[in-house]
Amino acid sequence: MELRQLEHFMALCEEMQFTKTAEKLRIGQPTLSYQMKALEVELGVRLFDRLGKKIAITEAGKILHEHCKKVFANLESAKEQIEELQNVKRGKLVIGALSGDLNHIASTVLLEFHSKYPDVQIQIFSLDDVVEKVIQNEFNLALTLMPGKDERLTNISLYEEEFFLAVPRDHVWSDRNAIDFKEIQHIPLILNPKGHCFRKSLDAACSAAGIHIQPIIESTDSKSILNLVKKGIGATIISSTLFTLENEGVLKAIKIKNPAIIREVTIVHHKQKYIGTAAKGFIELLIAHVNKCNVGVFNELLGIK
């Protein structure tokens, strides 16, 4: 089994078509077909079912694909570690951040990071589910809510904070300082869609409390949600951090109790992925920024007891 064969196998799994894969690899289709056939003969199993011009990966092919991903991830990790030994502070750092305030926090440290690591190319992606990208080895690390227990991940806790109901100051409930969790089902809400990390945890809490919420509007853009709330279209549930950053004095934060909505913000990375100098540096900057700004104690700034 040759490394080039496995590289071509991985490419074929991505394209699922011999002609397109051969063109992508800049080799002849007969050469690609021969390599895959030789791989199947060596393993003694079919890796693909040929269905005319189309192909479908077999169960054996899926097993090989999963192991190949680990092999190439380990090779990449070895390369990064060797570069570290040579004190080469270059390369590429890909970071994911949950959309909203966590993306704002990650982006805030960019300038300082670039001044310390000017030769490192850095990319920050704002997504609703960044954990899966870490698991698939597409992100070096991610800033997100504490995910469920996963043996593939390492979690570095940053801070805890509370979520509040945000309403316009002329809202019928704006004179209240607290509401029971079950009361949110009676309010027209503007929320993130179901695929969003926070929305998943909110729906789980609603299910546990025996209530159902049906937002009047859903959006992945936190600023758009807040703008709609400011115009009196509805209310939203928002972290104390984002409320403080975006309020502009026109919204009221109402405490949610029985139960309160608390989240733990963490940095996650894959246990098997090597964390180099640049990635460690970014983590240190994030932690320093959080400590400096006292993120997680924004409740004091909100004036909420």
Q: Kindly give, in sequence order, each residue whose CB lies less than 8 Å from that of residue 174, ignoring residues fewer than 6 positions away.
A: 167, 168, 252, 254
Same domain flag for 132 and 274: yes
Examine the domain organization and report whether 186 and 237 are in the same domain: yes
Give me the pLDDT at residue 299, please: 44
Count how many domains the chain has. 3
Residue where a domain stops, chosen among 36, 63, 84: 84
Residues 252 and 168 in one domain: yes
> 221 and 278 share a domain?
no
Q: Which residues of the chain have pLDDT under 70?
A: 84-90, 294-305
pLDDT of residue 269: 93
Cα 298 to Cα 143, 160, 161, 213, 221: the distances in Å are 18, 10, 8, 27, 22
pLDDT for 89 equals: 57
Phi-psi region of 265 (alpha: psi -120 to 50; beta: other; left: phi over 0): beta
- CA-nearest of 252, 201, 202, 204 to 226 is 252
**Which pLDDT does position 159 carry in this prediction?**
87
- Tell me the CATH number at 102: 3.40.190.10
Judge if 146 and 271 occupy the same domain: yes
Q: Is residue 300 part of a domain?
A: no
Q: Is residue 30 domain-shared with residue 75, that is, in the same domain?
A: yes
- Determine the structural domain holding residue 226 and report its residue range: 161-262
- Residue 301 counted as domain residue: no
166 and 258 housed in the same domain: yes
β-pairing, 141-145 vs 261-270, is: antiparallel
Residue with tokens 């502009």: 248
Tell me if 304 is assigned to some domain: no
Residue 151 maps to a domain: yes
Q: Considering 66, 84, 102, which residue would you say is the last residue of a domain? A: 84
Does 302 map to a domain?
no
CA distances from 72 to 36, 48, 68, 137, 151 (A): 18, 21, 6, 10, 20
pLDDT at 298: 44
Q: Could you read off the pLDDT of 242-261 as tens digits, one per residue?
A: 888 777 788 999 999 999 98
Residue 234 belongs to a domain with what CATH number? 3.40.190.290
- For residue 162, which of 104, 216, 243 has the smallest C-alpha distance? 243
Q: Is residue 129 within 8 Å of residue 175, measured between CB atoms?
A: no
| Same domain for 68 and 127 | no
On whether both 225 and 205 belong to a single domain, the answer is yes
Q: What is the pLDDT of residue 100?
A: 75
CATH of the domain at 74: 1.10.10.10
